[in-house]
Chains A and B, each alone.
Chain A
Amino acid sequence: MKTNDLILQTATKTVVFIILLFALHIFFAGHYYPGGGFVGGLLTSGAIVLLLLAFDVKTVKKSLPINYRLMIAVGLLFAIGTAVGSFLFNVPLLTHAFGYFTLPLLGKTSLHTAVLFDIGVYLCVVGATMTIIETIGVSE
């Protein structure tokens, strides 16, 4: 019997973008409000899991051709990179720096190297979650 998932798939197509935007919001709000790399990453992988539920593994792999194991490695590289960067300035490891910059659209914004570390966390969380789910999903 062939099931028809039209409602689920259509709803998914809209909802996924809302979840992704929410994840991004949570991620960037992390310094001043509850949130950060970890929840942001989990929400993002939640969106991808919703895609996996509505479609199948093959379709999702085709539309998101990402190697999640490499994603973990890249994330770790970001996190360690911010740590090792302090070697260049001869300050203790993981000493962060920040400053205020006037950006074209956003105006006066504070940029902090801790965000780079958080991007590492984010990529690691997404990579690890998706590796677990895909590995369990594919093996019989």
Chain B
Amino acid sequence: MINLLILPIIIPLLTAVILMFFAKKVVIQRWISAISLSGTLIASLILINKIDHDGIQTLNIGSWPAPFGITLVSDMLSALLVATTSLIALCSVIYSFYSIGKARENFYYYSIIQFLIVGVNGAFTTGDIFNMFVFFEVMLMSSYVLLVIGGTKIQLRESIKYILVNVTSSALFVITVGYLYSVVGTLNMAHISERIAEVDQPAILTVIAVLFLIVFGLKGAIFPLYFWLPGAYYAPPAPVMALFGALLTKVGVYSIMRTYTLFFYHDTGFTHEILAVLALLTVILGSIAAIAYKDIKKIVIYNIIIAIGVIVYGIAMMNSDGLSGAVFYLVHDMIIKAVLFLLVGIIIAITGSSDYRKYSGLIRHYPILGWTFFIAVLALAGIPPLSGFVGKLLIASGGFAAGDAVGALIILLSSLFVLYSLMRVFLNSFWGDPAGSSVNKDIPVGKLLIPVIALVVVAVFYGVCSEWINGYIIQATEVLMQPEIYIKAVLNR
């Protein structure tokens, strides 16, 4: 079927619309959204299999040939990210059944989540730079609603800031695309890449590259553009926070990865140098903030920023080790950040506080929760058999290969800070005197843990079977290293 690669976009879109008809029937909404997200996940897995066998899939929307119409392109990288997105969305939605509350569910909550998935999957799949802007907006508008839905004071305050920052960065995105269009005269990403290669990236295109870095850096929260993130991600309830933390910033990182490997790879001495320095500063500042706070939400939020820095550093190295490490770490980080936010949501629901000094001995009452948290922390820090290890190892070896020993050491050292920041939470809240906490019967912890454990199992599997996964990662990296493959697939040359 030629339309296979559109399925992860069109299924959630259709579902979102159908859910609007059942606005007040919560049970039907839950069923429909869970079934459709499972369908999306299955479709994306079939898509990965198809790309594995037949190479990059492209679809010219409306049958218009490549540079003239919108082309959707699914290479291994975007298919892997689409599959991860669908998995995380499915788990977050199942988690929402037992935690989000009727007040939100009655106001199009599930519909908006589907729209968010449309935006994220679309941004990963598109092969047209303006279409990418449109999918960014679909994603951001849904995230505005998800941030503000419920209408508590903190949500209202933070959504004003969040919207202000994102409207500004979207305007900058349009301006940048305008500049790029005036220089190269096309919007199709493969065609842009070809034309930039023809003129060998003069200075104006390097300026545009930096403008793109500012735009995507604002979306993806790299230093010094991450100022909006800690407040905005603090406000919404846990499943929304998991979706935000796992998906939204990663779309920014994916866009940096795409533009810096497909468009602006001719003058790497300048652009990728900036990228490496900013990435290292992001890692350092994120590490400082992660160990500074006593608030578990804040700690996990700053861990997002560290991870963004690590991935961007891998991209900046521009060698096969660095890039495959970045791809590996990107998928790992999406899964594990969703796990952590959902776990933090459960802990806060049980104890009623996000300050980890206020309780102790949780493991006596909630052993499964405790050990899940422990495994998630080890996976995040990158303890060998688990999922964070291979990605970080490859990124560090990419750094050493590029002759940047200091950067690679900073990346390796950041693991210690990550481990310390969250192990401190584990030691203080799960160990210690069990009198410091008690069983909270109002919270269905068993049901809430099901999607979380499913995600942890996937994360462990991802780490243990990294040999097998690596086959897919190599295919993804190959396209990033050799833009000609991408161009050939899109323009049929």
Contacts and interface: CB of A to CB of B under 8 A. Distances in A.
> Do A and B belong to a common assembly?
yes
Interface of A: 69-70, 72-73, 76-77, 80, 83-84, 86-87, 90-96
Closest 8 CB pairs of A and B: A73-B20, A95-B63, A76-B17, A94-B62, A92-B63, A93-B6, A94-B61, A95-B62
B189 to A, nearest CB: 18
Contacts of B1: 87, 90
Contacts, number: 44
Interface string B448-486: 000000000000000000000000000000000000000
A84 B2 CA distance: 13
B23 A69 contact: yes
A106 to B, nearest CB: 27
B21 to A, nearest CB: 6
Interface in B1-32: 1-3, 6, 10, 13-14, 17, 20-21, 23
A93 B11 CA distance: 13
B60 A73 contact: no
Given A69-B23, A73-B21, A90-B2, A96 B14 contact: no
Contacts of A87: 1, 3
B59 interface: yes
Contact of B62 (A69, A70, A84, A92): A92
Give the interface SS of chain A, mostly helix, strand, loop or mixed: helix
Contacts of A73: 17, 20-21
Contacts of B61: 92-94
Interface residues of B, number: 16
A92 B13 contact: no
Interface of B: 1-3, 6, 10, 13-14, 17, 20-21, 23, 59-63
Nearest to B7: A87
A112 to B, nearest CB: 13
B19 to A, nearest CB: 9
B14 A93 contact: no
A90 B61 CA distance: 12
Given A90-B2, A93-B59, 4 more contacts: A72-B20, A77-B17, A80-B13, A94-B61
B21 A96 contact: no
Contacts of A83: 10
B6 A70 contact: no
A120 to B, nearest CB: 10
A69 B6 CA distance: 27
A72 B60 CA distance: 28
Nearest to A79: B17
A140 to B, nearest CB: 15
Contact of B2 (A69, A77, A80, A92): A92
Contacts of A90: 1-3
Contacts of B3: 86-87, 90, 92-93
Contacts of A76: 17, 20
15 contacts: A72-B20, A73-B17, A73-B21, A76-B20, A80-B13, A80-B14, A80-B17, A83-B10, A84-B14, A92-B60, A92-B61, A93-B3, A95-B62, A95-B63, A96-B62
